[in-house]
DNA sequence: GTGTATGCAAACTGTTTGCATGGAC
DNA sequence: GTCCATGCAAACAGTTTGCATACAC
């Protein structure tokens, strides 16, 4: 594997053992994750890594665009390594397993849209939630049981 | 004025001086507001009202559906009294003054949507941000100046 | 060698909870 | 009269910061 592009993750910042670990763990997450899930996973791998380091690293990864905020759950931000890059897109989050995929923008920029017609829309946030193929299959199996 | 429907705001809960004040202040907010903006506004009106009371009241107002989470700014939830009611809808938030309006759902439920096709979408969150008519007018006036 | 990243712990912010008291119904 | 809502302060969770040390470059 090509290390998932971990090398440039911190931009011009220095690469340390901890930062490498944090980026690797983040990249290996199956889907969206909260910061403290990341903390746990990192510390499980190396208990000597402090939480502050994880927070600082994540802040850098976010400003570098290597990680993204893709939504939220129970008031906690959901992060994910998004392969799409800076192109305009949104995310689908699996409510069951947290898997995240990029999706095309489902928003109609209809100019005559009812109440919003008088607003000048500059940006929008969209997150779709549901079940990924695997979880959907399991759920329907449960239902039949 | 008809008190903006403050009477039923807390459902079957009891109405107190503080709760009445909190609901009135919330209803008088020009647009979306954060909890601590509400706290400040309430305490400005009656310094003896504790923050805990505001938080507890807001929790009730949210579960009653009298208030709604309409988005977020700097990691803080934006709340607003939404006149639309429980019908499916979304919000347009003015980045400048915080004014909020309801808008029709701009999401296309296209069944064949690229990557999300394999996901079973159960819900979505959409918030539009931009400038309300007034702020847009002011902004363009600034630009011309 | 220089300067950034780290670990630790303390500080800090926003929110919730326990408990005795006051007030709504 | 009963029970809910309040105020206060303490507890709490999540996050950030200060500082001395370790390490990348």
Q: What pLDDT was estimated at residue B115?
A: 52
Whether residue A122 and residue B102 make contact (CB cut-off 8 A), yes or no, is no
CA distance B15 to B4: 15
Q: What pLDDT was estimated at residue A114?
A: 46
CB atoms within 10 A of CB A119: 22
**Beta carbons within 8 Å of B26's beta carbon, 6+ residues apart:** B33, B38, B58, B61, B67, B79, B81
pLDDT band at B110 (very low <50, low <70, confident <90, very high): low
pLDDT over 70 (residue A115)? no
Angle between helices B17-28 and B35-45 (to 10 degrees): 120
Residues 22-81 of A with CB under 7 A from strand D: 35-36, 51-52, 55-56, 59, 76-77
Which residue of chain A is at minimal alpha-carbon distance from B90? A116
pLDDT average, residue stretch A81-96: 79
Partners of residue A71 on adjacent β-strands = A78
| Identity of the residue in B103, B106, B121 whose CB atom sits nearest the CB atom of A130 | B121
Instruction: State the nucleotide closest to B48 in CA–C1' terms.
Output: D7
Whether the Cβ atoms of residue A48 and residue A93 lie closer than 8 Å to each other: no
Backbone CA torsion sign across A81, A83, A88, A94: negative
Which of the two residues, A50 and A97, has the higher pLDDT score? A50
Chain B residues lying within 8 Å of A110, measured CB to CB: 106
DSSP at A14: P
Instruction: State the nucleotide closest to B15 in CA–C1' terms.
Output: C24
- CA geometry: angle at B72 spanning B69 and B75, to 5°? 125
Mean pLDDT of chain B: 84
CA distance A21 to A17: 6
Q: How far is CA A7 from the centre of its chain?
A: 19
Burial A73-98 (b: 16+ CB within 10 A, else e): eeeebbbbbbeeeeeebbbbbbeeeb
* Phi, then psi, of B39 in degrees rounded to 5: -55, -50
Q: What pLDDT was estimated at residue B70?
A: 86
B10 min Cα distance to partner chain A (Å): 23
- CA geometry: angle at B32 spanning B31 and B33, to 5°? 115
Whether the Cβ atoms of residue B122 and residue B97 lie closer than 8 Å to each other: no
A69 min Cα distance to partner chain B (Å): 11
A2-57 residue pLDDT tens: 556 788 899 999 999 999 999 999 999 988 899 999 999 999 999 999 999 999 99
pLDDT over 90 (residue A67)? yes
pLDDT band at A126 (very low <50, low <70, confident <90, very high): confident
pLDDT average, residue stretch B66-73: 87
pLDDT band at B112 (very low <50, low <70, confident <90, very high): very low
Whether residue A130 and residue B119 make contact (CB cut-off 8 A), yes or no, is yes
Q: Which residue has the tokens 């897109």?
A: A89
Backbone CA torsion sign across B33, B34, B39, B44: negative
B97-108 residue pLDDT tens: 878 888 887 776
**Beta carbons within 8 Å of A114's beta carbon, 6+ residues apart:** B103, B104
Partners of residue A73 on adjacent β-strands = A76
Q: Which residue has the tokens 């504790």?
A: B50
**Beta carbons within 8 Å of A62's beta carbon, 6+ residues apart:** A68, A69, A79
CA distance A97 to A132: 8
Q: Under DSSP, is residue B65 helix (H, G, I), strand (E, B) or coil?
A: coil
* Phi, then psi, of B126 in degrees rounded to 5: -135, 130
pLDDT band at B111 (very low <50, low <70, confident <90, very high): very low
A101-114 residue pLDDT tens: 888 877 765 544 54
């Amino acid at each position: 594997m090509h290390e998932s592009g971990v090398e440039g993750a911190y931009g011009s910042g220095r690469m340390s053992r901890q930062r490498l670990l944090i980026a690797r763990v983040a990249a290996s997450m199956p889907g969206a994750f909260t910061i403290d899930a990341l903390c746990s996973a990192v510390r499980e791998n190396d208990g000597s890594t402090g939480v502050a380091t994880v927070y600082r690293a994540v802040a850098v990864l976010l400003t570098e665009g290597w990680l993204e905020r893709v939504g939220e759950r129970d008031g906690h931000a959901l992060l994910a390594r998004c392969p799409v890059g800076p192109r305009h897109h949104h995310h689908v989050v699996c409510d069951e397993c947290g898997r995240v995929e990029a999706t095309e923008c489902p928003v109609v920029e209809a100019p005559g849209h009812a109440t919003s017609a008088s607003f000048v829309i500059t940006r929008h946030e969209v997150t779709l939630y549901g079940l990924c193929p695997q979880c959907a299959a399991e759920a329907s199996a449960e239902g039949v049981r």
